[in-house]
Amino acid sequence: MSLTLTAGQKYAHEVYEAVVRRDPGEPEFHQAVYEILHSLAPVLDQHPEFAQAGLLERLVEPERIIMFRVPWVDDQGNVRVNRGFRVQFNSAIGPYKGGLRFHPTVNLSIIKFLGFEQIFKNSLTGLPIGGGKGGSDFDPKGKSDGEVMRFCQSFMTELYRHIGPDIDVPAGDIGVGAREIGYMFGQYRRIRGGNEAGVFTGKGIDYGGSLVRKEATGYGLVYFVEEMLKTRGESFAGKTVVVSGSGNVAIYAIEKAQQLGARVVACSDSGGYVYDPDGIRLDTVKRLKEVERKRISEYVNHHPKATYHPDCRDIWNIPCHIALPCATQNEIDKKAAETLAANGVIAVGEGANMPSTLEAIDVFLGKGVLFGPAKAANAGGVAVSALEMSQNSMRFSWTFEEVDAKLKQIMTNIHRNSLEAAEAYGHPGNLVVGANIAGFLKVARIMLANGII
Ligand code: NDP
């Protein structure tokens, strides 16, 4: 260890190394911890009381991890077994809050990275929600509705005992949309009795869901990037935009970007990407993905000028002014970032969680590209989830316009608070550092005030 490190840098690094030693098989979790802890050094230097209180050591250790067997029967009568997870990471600010992901790649490392990020993201929203995340290695793709329902019911038959409107409030994520939440909420209600609407967010509008929740992550991302662009006197109008993914976040990011006058030329799924020089027709994408559950490759059957390319990672070779990665973690590596920068990208906003590798982020920051990190830029989804919880508690619903206005204000506040924190701690314009510090400070103060727990 070099003698030139400050006390804060040394503390952050020691805690990071202890995490790697203790949980050696969790690379995604290490990546998330590294990214956050190493940006906190200026705060740790100013606040030695955080190290004295073992704050980082406590922060990187989840309050509780629940892992469980999820047995279910497929349509052929075969017994299938998946693994369920819920990581209740930090409840300093409020009930654990974070989505459930159903995807074959899900493992403890992925859920811990997502849960760890969620602590700071939820803090940034300014709303009373702690950090958690969960999911399963179940793949809903290609399953019948009956299979998805039986899986969701089995998943909830264990999870119900660990959650509640004031304890832990799950929502959707990759592979978990309105259908899956409907089945899980139904099973929870059946087991618990009564109707605790606030136990889930992302519910259907008819049974306690909030207007704008479906659109919130994508719209919020675009509102956040709009704020970034304003700092350089720019806007979405007339810009060429590339959006990866074609799920919930991607669809509503495309919708809002188009409403603001941008030309979105490409989107993707895990099979490949489509490029449409006339601009992506969102009605087609919504029909294919939200209604028919088909592959994005089918888009070209409806729009002959569009082309399909079977490697989704190549989407970043398309020249654009604004890139919005909205698919999955580590989808932009160093090479993709260099290509984007060489092609003149001016802003990158992370709709997905941790879509850029640490090296890619360094490229963007080094080249002066406006960069909106996930925990700030995609916080709109969980922010509206917290507004859904408020409406459930009040047994009252706000209009679309009311929720949308609150979302826009929250995204503007997150951008401003992150910029101010970056400035205050010596990294002007760096939203990665700013968002980490602003999110961390609130959690840290509460953890100090609540004693060693
Ligand atoms: P969806 O399941 O609705 O869509 C995910 C999209 O990403 C699909 O197009 C999917 O393609 C693609 N994708 C998934 N995994 C991969 C992969 N390994 N490689 C390439 N493409 C992939 O999920 P969401 O839109 O809800 O989530 C997208 C991202 O946004 C995730 O990182 C999630 O954590 C994050 N996020 C979501 C929030 C929300 O409110 N939903 C809130 C904040 C963040 P395919 O169909 O082929 O799998």
CATH superfamily of 64-194: Leucine Dehydrogenase, chain A, domain 1 (3.40.50.10860)
Mean pLDDT over residues 403-420, rounded?
A: 98
Task: Compute and round to an integer the Cα radius of gyration of the chain.
Answer: 21
CATH superfamily of 216-377: NAD(P)-binding Rossmann-like Domain (3.40.50.720)
Among protein residues, the one whose CA lies closest to atom 29 of ligand 1: 352
Mean pLDDT over residues 115-144, rounded?
A: 98
326 C-alpha to ligand 1 centroid (Å): 6
Residue 47, number of CB atoms within 10 A of its CB: 18
435 C-alpha to ligand 1 centroid (Å): 22
Q: Which ligand 1 atom is the nearest neighbour of the CA of 351?
A: 30
Whether the pLDDT of residue 2 is over 60: the answer is: no
Q: Which ligand 1 atom is the nearest neighbour of the CA of 175?
A: 2
360 C-alpha to ligand 1 centroid (Å): 19
267 C-alpha to ligand 1 centroid (Å): 12
Among protein residues, the one whose CA lies closest to atom 15 of ligand 1: 328
Q: Which ligand 1 atom is the nearest neighbour of the CA of 313?
A: 20
Among protein residues, the one whose CA lies closest to atom 21 of ligand 1: 270
307-340: pLDDT as tens digits: 999 999 999 999 999 999 999 999 999 999 999 9
218 C-alpha to ligand 1 centroid (Å): 11
Whether the pLDDT of residue 357 is over 50: the answer is: yes
What is the Cα–Cα distance from 86 to 404, expressed in whole angstroms?
Answer: 30
Which helix (H) or strand (E) covers residue 130, if one does?
A: strand 130-136
251-294: pLDDT as tens digits: 999 999 999 999 999 999 999 999 999 999 999 999 999 999 99
Give the 3-state secondary structure of residue 243: strand
Mean pLDDT over residues 202-220, rounded?
A: 97
97 C-alpha to ligand 1 centroid (Å): 18
pLDDT band, residue 82 (cuts 50/70/90):
very high
What is the Cα–Cα distance from 420 to 414, expressed in whole angstroms?
Answer: 10
DSSP 143-193: --HHHHHHHHHHHHHHHGGG-BTTTEEEE-BTTB-HHHHHHHHHHHHHHH-
Choice from 269, 291, 294, 313 to test ligand 1 binding pocket (greatest atom count within 8 A of CB)? 269
Q: Which residues, judged by CB distance below 6 Å to any ligand atom, belong to the binding site of ligand 1?
A: 172-175, 217, 245-250, 269-271, 312, 326-328, 351-353, 378, 381
Q: Which ligand 1 atom is the nearest neighbour of the CA of 103?
A: 15
**Cβ atoms of 178 and 148 closer than 8 Å:** no
Among protein residues, the one whose CA lies closest to atom 34 of ligand 1: 353
pLDDT band, residue 391 (cuts 50/70/90):
very high
What is the Cα–Cα distance from 14 to 11, expressed in whole angstroms?
Answer: 5
pLDDT band, residue 1 (cuts 50/70/90):
very low
Q: Which ligand 1 atom is the nearest neighbour of the CA of 245?
A: 9
157-192: pLDDT as tens digits: 999 999 999 999 999 999 999 999 999 999 999 999
Judging by beta carbons within 10 Å of its beta carbon (0-12, 13-18, 19+), is residue 304 exposed, middle or buried? exposed
How many alpha carbons lie under 13 Å from residue 35 in its C-beta half-sphere? Answer: 29
- Structure tokens given for 358: 């640490």
Whether the pLDDT of residue 442 is over 70: the answer is: yes
Q: Where in the chain is the domain with CATH 3.40.50.10860?
A: 64-194
214 C-alpha to ligand 1 centroid (Å): 13
Q: Where in the chain is the domain with CATH 3.40.50.720?
A: 216-377
User: Does residue 133 carry a catalytic annotation?
Assistant: yes
**Long-range interactions of 14-18: CB distance < 8 A, separation 24+:** 15/56, 15/57, 15/60, 18/57
From 97, 112, 121, 133, the catalytic residue = 133
Among protein residues, the one whose CA lies closest to atom 44 of ligand 1: 352
Among protein residues, the one whose CA lies closest to atom 48 of ligand 1: 270
Starting at the edge strand that comes first in sequence, how are the strands of the sheet with 96-102 ordered?
64-73, 79-90, 130-136, 96-102, 168-171
Whether the pLDDT of residue 430 is over 70: the answer is: yes
Q: Which residues of 10-36 are buried (b: 16+ CB within 10 A; e: fewer)?
A: bbbbebbeebeeebeebebbbbbbbbb
What is the Cα–Cα distance from 175 to 202, expressed in whole angstroms?
Answer: 13
pLDDT band, residue 3 (cuts 50/70/90):
low
